[in-house]
Amino acid sequence: MYAGELSGLKLGKATRDAFGEALRDLGAEVSELVTVDGDVGNSTRTEYFAKAYPERAFNVGIAESNMVGVAGGLAGSGKIPVVASFACFLLDNAFDQIRMAVAFPEMNVKLVGSHAGISIGEDGPSQMGIEDVALACSLPGLTVVVPSDAACTKAATEAIVRHDGPAYLRIGRGKVAEVYPDGCNFELGKAIQLRDGADATIIANGLMVPAALDAATALKDQGVNVRVLDMHTIKPLDRDAIQKAAEETGAIVVAEEHLHHGGLGSVVCQAICETKPVPVESVDVGDVYAESGDPDGLLQKYGLTPDAVADAVKRVIDRK
């Protein structure tokens, strides 16, 4: 059973596929849009744009630092460069260049990290971007977005392209459930409430959003009513939605496919401490590097499942 199935959600396409399609479509409307690729366009799906606009697509080879530097130069020349690679290659390998060629000079560069999290499976820990959100959030002025499904990714891609300033978009390899089958009413910095409830709130992003919905569905059968928020934008954070959830439900669970430190859980806890302190439980990768294996098996082993989210809700309610 895939995450979201219990809630009646259909299995949709991978967020990387939705990104590639959205980028290609935007190319017809935004003439300044260009791509800078590190020889993995067939994986990140920037190849869709490159096939449609070959004169606006630049492949610099497996040289991520140079790739970011080129993008900074293109942005300085009035272009809107989209730089895409595996999340770990982009954020880890080229962090200094992102800092100095994009964030510090406030260049209008769009960074896209594909194959994020442990759900890339057999590729193994050397290619699992699980600290990318923490690195991206640490850079001043950088907008950080983690969409949950194809529709959310399409809307997020357009939003960051039209946003004036540097941004990071995190996308994944595998297919995910259709959280927004009728389209996503997306706004940077504004969480989307998917379910209401008074007993606790689950705040999630990425593939953990359908897992959160499944957890809420299972808990409702047990008499527990849980609010679910899709916190697709981590920076800027929707502090108002978090404060409201804390005040109205009194307990929070944060679910993300990322290390325990520095991601969504960290910024949510900071916001709660500064507004309305309530008990919080986290569902995440923890403080470890994962291993190579079947994607579903890895999600099970490291506790990124609807059952794990539901158990965290029970624990946090007991602490109220």
128: amino acid identity, one letter: M
CA separation (Å) from 33 to 80, 146, 163?
5, 21, 12
Residue 47 is among the residues annotated as catalytic for this protein: no
And the tokens for 287?
Answer: 């403080």
Residues 242, 238: Cα–Cα separation, whole Å: 7
SS3 158: helix
* 239 Cβ contact partners less than 8 Å away, ≥ 6 residues apart: 271, 275
Residues 68, 37: Cα–Cα separation, whole Å: 9
Residues 162, 220: Cα–Cα separation, whole Å: 39
Long-range Cβ pairs for the range 162-166 (8 Å, 24+): 162/30, 163/188, 164/108, 165/106, 165/108, 165/141, 166/102, 166/103, 166/106, 166/107, 166/108, 166/109, 166/110, 166/111, 166/139, 166/141, 166/142
| Contact predicate 304/257, CB 8 Å | yes
> Taking the CB of residue 32, how many other CB atoms lie within 10 A of it?
14
Catalytic residue among 21, 64, 178, 257: 64
Question: Across the strands, what pairs with 203?
Answer: 229, 254
| Contact predicate 302/275, CB 8 Å | no
- DSSP code string of 75-128: HHTT-EEEEEEEHIIIIIITHHHHIIIIITTT---EEEEESBSGGGGGG-GGG-
Catalytic residues: 64
